[in-house]
Amino acid sequence: MIGSAQKGTTVKALTGEVHTKPGKFIVTRDVTTFRRGDIIWVYTYLGEGAFKIWHRGKFVEYEIDFNYLNPGPDGLGYFDIMPKSVWWVKIRTPAGLEGWTNQPENFSNKDACG
């Protein structure tokens, strides 16, 4: 820890990074570009059902329903390993102190929606 800010202090977010340990998803049936037995490495959730995935030697953004809780007969497959992501945000205090936090939930007004 390099410092702290009191609750209610306005800080400026300078940049952010998502640190991810990919999830390993096993495909159990042929669907679109996926074949039974394919492994999909699931990295980052991008919002609105889209994920950044590694498939067949490249990163792609793909809208997919990873219904791992109830794959059922209509499901694509299952997670062998669940993905884990942590959002780190670099902030600056009014006094000019800069540092990183992995607790973005402690801040408000993080996007255009407030």
Residues 5 and 29 in one domain: no
- Check if the beta carbon of residue 11 is closer than 8 Å to that of residue 5: yes
Residue range 90-105, pLDDT digits in tens: 999 888 989 898 988 8
Domain span at 67 = 23-82
Residues in the chain: 114
- CA 98/CA 84 separation, integer angstroms: 26
Q: For the chain, give the percent of residues with pLDDT over 70.
A: 86
**What total of structural domains would you count in the chain?**
2
Confidence of residue 73 (pLDDT cuts 50, 70, 90): low
Helices (H) and strands (E) in the chain, counts: 0, 8
Mean pLDDT of 62-71: 65
Q: What is the pLDDT of residue 112?
A: 55
**How far apart, in whole angstroms, are the C-alpha atoms of residue 89 and residue 78?**
31
Q: Which CATH number covers residue 42?
A: 2.30.30
- Amino acid letter at 56? R
